Structure 1
Amino acid sequence: MSMDDLALLRRQLEEERAARKKAEDLLEETVRELTLANQLLQRYLDAVPCIVVALDTRACIAMINRAGCALLGQPESALLGQPWFEHCLPQPSGKSVLLPCFLQLVSGEGQAQEALSEYPVVDADGQQRLMAWHTGMLTDAAGVIVGTLSSGEEISERKLAEVAIAESRNLLLKVIDTVPARVFWKDTDLRFLGCNRRFAEDAGMPSPDDLIGKDDYQMVWAEQADHYRADDREVMAAGAPRLFFEEQQTTASGETVWLRTSKIPLINDDNETFGVLGVYEDITECRRIEADNRIHLAELTALNGMLIEAQNQMLRSVKMASVGRLAAGVANEIDKPFAFINSNLEALKGHVADLLSVLEAYEKAEPALAGQVAFLAAIEQAKEKAHLAFMQHDILNLISESLDGVQRAKTAVETLKEFSRVDTAEWQLANLEKGLESTLNIVWNEIKYKAKIKKDYAGIPDIECLAPQLNQVFLNLVINAAQAIDERGVIILRTGFDEHEVWVEVGDTGKGIEPEDMDKIFDPFFTTKATGKGSGLGLSLADNIVRRHGGRLDTRSKPGKGSVFRVTLPRNRLLNKEDF
């Protein structure tokens, strides 16, 4: 080998040593940089508060940070290379159920990612810690998967809180569902956030979940939606509840019902309104019952007034019967003194006339005493003292007026006796016109300021009857006629007869009777008068009395013109065998 060849070889060896030196230096620098980078990465990972673990494709621990070591209670040296799923996770069935999912994931099938998103690890105390995992794939320069890098955050407390919240929500929904009222809540856009089952039924929805996100325009009560939403906005704008107001709603069945509603704004801890809560109950039946109760109360009040009036009328009837008996007794007692007073006055009238004729004879004899001046003077003085001239003129007038007064008092007594007729309860012949007149005398003070009496009597024949009871009929008809006249009017009393019947009519120019009331005027307790003004028994009792006499009580009336009541009775009592 020549010297040139040796020199060349030496140069080549030096160049190779220099190149190897340079490569070694470069490798050393690279290792140093990688070591520094790895240390820096480890510091970064150790600074992360949650667990970070890198796994190779066999699911063995390739790297774990300080938080992971602390959680597991083992140093990094004891964990590196350990099978992650078998070593650090609970094994309820004796083997890892997650390892197959991991192997499927690193093989390139990403569908298993969801199964590894949440699972527990066993800490240093042997307690399970539920973790939420975020996993990324580690690849080499060629893009081949060489492992995974996962970070885990403990969610045990959050999960427990979520479970507690879910349980509380479910309990709250169950409680709301058991409430008999309807409950709903909306957001600020007035879309439903939730409701109870009864509200969903009213809305025609299968379940409360079907309402979420919908608004009132999508409910069966769409026609009332504008009204409901205006109320909701008013409550939210005011920030104050609106309680117990009544409104109507159309249900899923198409029925219109009444609701008693309360609406309350939903306000968060920052005093911000985020929606509205509504609660209502169906009060349709309550309103119907209240309406029925009001009607029943009015009916009972009216009936109570009628009963009170009927009781008062009965008391008046009893009093009138007592007064009638008393009047008859008094009348009988008065008749006797009236008889001898009248007789005595008539006798006195004759005696006075005789005395006056004697005085007249003495006056004619006075000229014969012309010579007896003193005697004549004494006579003249006595005549002046006695006012003889006035007495002669007045004494007969006084006696005549007294006789007239006695006769008028006797007529009044006879009228009272004729009206009451308590001296007999037998059927007797009586003249209805006389009974009508006696009735008129009894009530004259009550009607004289309201009505003018117009009479048209036909001179009807006497009939066999119970006159006091028919007088009571006439009394009711005349009083009713007067009460039908508002201010001043006319009461017409008319009689008539034919070969079979007699009749008495009591007419008035009052307000008349409405056509719809004509069929009810003889019903017991029916009255067109104001409450407390009539019992509704007068015409019923009158009709009953007339029917028991074999007659009939008819009426004709024109509203605003007046009414006429006709009592028609048979002339022959044999046509009616029914006695009282």
Structure 2
Amino acid sequence: MNEVYNALIENYPELIIVTDLEGIIIDVSNSFIKTYRIEKKEEIMGKSILDLLIFQDRERAKSNFTKIIEKKSIKNQVYRFINSDGQYFLGLTNSCLIPDLKEKTSAVFTIVKNISNYERIEADLKESQKMFQLVIDNIPQFIFWKDLNSVYLGCNKNFARVAGVGKPENIIGKKDQDLVWRDSESEFFYEIDRLVMELDKPEYHVIETQLQADGKQAWLDTNRIPLHNEENEVVGVLGTYEDITDRVKARKKLEKSEKKYREAYNQANFYKDIFSHDISNILQNIQSANDLLNIYLNSNIENRIEDRINDLVDISKTIKEQIMRGARLINNIQKLSYIEESRINIKKLDLFDILNESLRYISNWKYKYNVNIQVDTPHNSLYVYANHFLKDIFENILINAIKYNNNKIVEIKINLKKKKRAERNYIQLDFIDNGIGIKDVRKEKIFQRAYNKDKSISGLGLGLSLVKKIIESYNGFIWVEDRIPGYYSKGTKVILMIPEAQ
């Protein structure tokens, strides 16, 4: 036993102090002699161990020394020791009660480990961590980092705020499922984390949505980077993102504004086209009629009335018709303006009342054309959601069926029936004529006399483009088919579907 004791006293690197039960030093190790720069042990022996401590730690040390006697040992006590230069160092002490081999009595054996450097390193580390947290807390971006299981290891204040955890340290140990995000968002975040870590490849500028703690639905521009240890192994993921919600809203607002002004520009060009083409056409016809009238008026005075009365009547009719065409054009443009400005109200209307009123108007054409119109329906009453423009639609379709027809007898059949489409109830109207028909390549174009569309389509004013706009304002549909499939020249079928009103 003496050999072990002597080996410790002579060679143990930490300080060893042996005292009696009163705390009086009776032996020290060679490492103690070197640390305190004394010539021999006798210079320190006989002094109290408390004399080695600064004054503020002595009372606590005295109390703990009593506990050593009672409990046989006491561990991990830190005191400030005074060295030979008058400076103090931190000493971690472990003390126990042992028998004094020389005197056959008990003694206190204390090992002192200088931990000043460890404390300094720990303090520096804490200061470094504090500075790091201070830096990332003052960065405007949102920052977080996770381990291999996507468990949060830390974040900055901005991220803690939107995550609803208060302080950054409260994020530690949590997963995305524990935070305020939607379930779908949490799953998406997890999948992106896995992708970055498993492929060991960063993902930059991933646009994500995030429901934040204050209820805000945010748009994020996110970067995720794999984290590596000293062996270059992936140990986690670092994420940073910028809130681009205002930018996204501004872009959408700008796109909406651009669309609005683009439509306004196209609308202006559309109206310009209507007036430059159609009004010019009307004025040219009136001018031609007027020139012809002047020829008649300047011809032989004796013959001009008696012999050419019929020609003059025709000229007068031509001028009147062109004036009426101009009036209809202006009326159509006004209607289109109402539709585009959403100034029309949709309401429940009796379909038969509207159709009969249109048929009465068309009856005036029977004096000029031989027209036979039949209406076929199994229903006694039908109601639709529409407005007063529905009458204009019917009249437009019926007039086209009469005008574009080379037969001696103009045959028009109108079928009405109920139809369901996409779980909604409609009234379908089929206007079937025996006219010249419409080629397949023009079946869609006839509805396109509108903004920046094909200007080669002949016809006056808005026509079927206006009809289509009105039908769409009802959430209805319109299209054209051949009366006999595959034979366009045998006539046309114009099909309308208008939402049914109960």
Q: How does 1:43-192 map to 2 (within 5 A)?
A: 44-76=8-40, 77-86=42-51, 88-91=52-55, 96-109=58-71, 113-114=75-76, 117-140=77-100, 145-152=106-113, 154-192=114-152
- The answer to whether the 8 A contact 1:190-1:215 is kept is yes
| Cα deviation digits, residues 357-382 of structure 1 (max 9, x gap) | xxxxxxxxxxxxxxxxxxxxxxxxxx
- The answer to whether the 8 A contact 2:270-2:450 is kept is no
The amino acid of 1:48's aligned partner reads Y
| Change beyond 3 A, Cα 1:253–1:139 | farther
| Change beyond 3 A, Cα 1:458–1:331 | closer
Tell me, in whole angstroms, the C-alpha distance in 1 between the residues paired with 2:109 and 2:100.
12
- The answer to whether the 8 A contact 2:209-2:218 is kept is yes
| Change beyond 3 A, Cα 1:159–1:200 | same
The amino acid of 2:26's aligned partner reads A
| Change beyond 3 A, Cα 1:165–1:437 | closer
The amino acid of 1:84's aligned partner reads I
Tell me, in whole angstroms, the C-alpha distance in 1 between the residues paired with 2:290 and 2:149.
97
SS in 1 for 2:32: helix
SS in 1 for 2:401: strand
The amino acid of 1:188's aligned partner reads L
1:193 is displaced (CA, Å) by 1.9
| Change beyond 3 A, Cα 1:533–1:489 | same
Tell me, in whole angstroms, the C-alpha distance in 2 between the residues paired with 1:455 and 1:227.
67
SS in 2 for 1:269: coil
SS in 1 for 2:58: coil
Tell me, in whole angstroms, the C-alpha distance in 2 between the residues paired with 1:437 and 1:533.
22
1:147 is displaced (CA, Å) by 1.6
Counterpart check, 1:299 vs 2:265: no
The amino acid of 2:48's aligned partner reads P
- The answer to whether the 8 A contact 1:105-1:113 is kept is no
The amino acid of 1:146's aligned partner reads A
| Cα deviation digits, residues 459-486 of structure 1 (max 9, x gap) | 89xxxxxxxxxxxxxxxxxxx999999x
1:245 is displaced (CA, Å) by 1.5
Q: How does 1:219-258 map to 2 (within 5 A)?
A: 219-221=179-181, 223-224=183-184, 225-251=186-212, 258=219
Kindly name which structure, 1 or 2, has the bigger radius of gyration based on alpha carbons: 1
The amino acid of 2:43's aligned partner reads A
1:274 is displaced (CA, Å) by 1.4
Tell me, in whole angstroms, the C-alpha distance in 1 between the residues paired with 2:245 and 2:194.
26
Q: Which has the higher helix share?
A: 1
Tell me, in whole angstroms, the C-alpha distance in 2 between the residues paired with 1:157 and 1:104.
29
1:166 is displaced (CA, Å) by 0.8
Q: How does 1:329-368 map to 2 (within 5 A)?
A: 343=300
Q: How does 1:477-556 map to 2 (within 5 A)?
A: 490=401, 492=403, 530-533=450-453
Q: How many residues align?
A: 369
1:179 is displaced (CA, Å) by 3.9
1:267 is displaced (CA, Å) by 0.4
Map of 1:277 onto structure 2: 238
Tell me, in whole angstroms, the C-alpha distance in 2 between the residues paired with 1:188 and 1:436.
77
Tell me, in whole angstroms, the C-alpha distance in 2 between the residues paired with 1:64 and 1:100.
19
SS in 2 for 1:108: helix
Tell me, in whole angstroms, the C-alpha distance in 1 between the residues paired with 2:208 and 2:46.
74
| Change beyond 3 A, Cα 1:312–1:145 | farther
Map of 1:261 onto structure 2: 222
Q: How does 1:314-463 map to 2 (within 5 A)?
A: 320=280, 343=300, 435=324, 456-457=364-365
Tell me, in whole angstroms, the C-alpha distance in 2 between the residues paired with 1:437 and 1:165.
88
Structure 1: tracts of 5 or more residues without a match: 1-32, 347-402, 422-434, 441-453, 461-479, 494-506, 510-526, 543-556, 564-580
| Cα deviation digits, residues 124-167 of structure 1 (max 9, x gap) | 33332223333333235899742222132x33233222112112
- The answer to whether the 8 A contact 1:106-1:145 is kept is no
Tell me, in whole angstroms, the C-alpha distance in 1 between the residues paired with 2:326 and 2:236.
84
- The answer to whether the 8 A contact 1:136-1:150 is kept is no
The amino acid of 1:125's aligned partner reads D
Map of 2:420 onto structure 1: none
The amino acid of 1:194's aligned partner reads G
Tell me, in whole angstroms, the C-alpha distance in 2 between the residues paired with 1:205 and 1:131.
40
Tell me, in whole angstroms, the C-alpha distance in 2 between the residues paired with 1:47 and 1:237.
52
Map of 2:499 onto structure 1: none
**TM-score normalised by length of structure 1:** 0.49
Tell me, in whole angstroms, the C-alpha distance in 1 between the residues paired with 2:322 and 2:68.
125
The amino acid of 1:239's aligned partner reads D
SS in 2 for 1:532: coil
- The answer to whether the 8 A contact 1:243-1:261 is kept is yes
1:271 is displaced (CA, Å) by 0.5
**TM-score normalised by length of structure 2:** 0.56
The amino acid of 1:272's aligned partner reads E
The amino acid of 1:531's aligned partner reads Y
SS in 1 for 2:256: helix
| Change beyond 3 A, Cα 1:295–1:222 | closer
Tell me, in whole angstroms, the C-alpha distance in 2 between the residues paired with 1:438 and 1:191.
74
Tell me, in whole angstroms, the C-alpha distance in 2 between the residues paired with 1:72 and 1:179.
50
- The answer to whether the 8 A contact 2:220-2:243 is kept is yes
| Change beyond 3 A, Cα 1:259–1:558 | closer
The amino acid of 2:38's aligned partner reads Q
Tell me, in whole angstroms, the C-alpha distance in 1 between the residues paired with 2:322 and 2:267.
26
| Change beyond 3 A, Cα 1:110–1:284 | farther
SS in 1 for 2:451: coil
Q: Which has the higher strand share?
A: 2
| Change beyond 3 A, Cα 1:320–1:528 | closer
| Change beyond 3 A, Cα 1:139–1:182 | farther
- The answer to whether the 8 A contact 2:75-2:93 is kept is no
Tell me, in whole angstroms, the C-alpha distance in 2 between the residues paired with 1:65 and 1:222.
66
| Cα deviation digits, residues 194-241 of structure 1 (max 9, x gap) | 233444444443544344234344444483444433322221111121
| Change beyond 3 A, Cα 1:484–1:418 | closer
RMSD of equivalent CA atoms:
5.4
SS in 1 for 2:93: strand
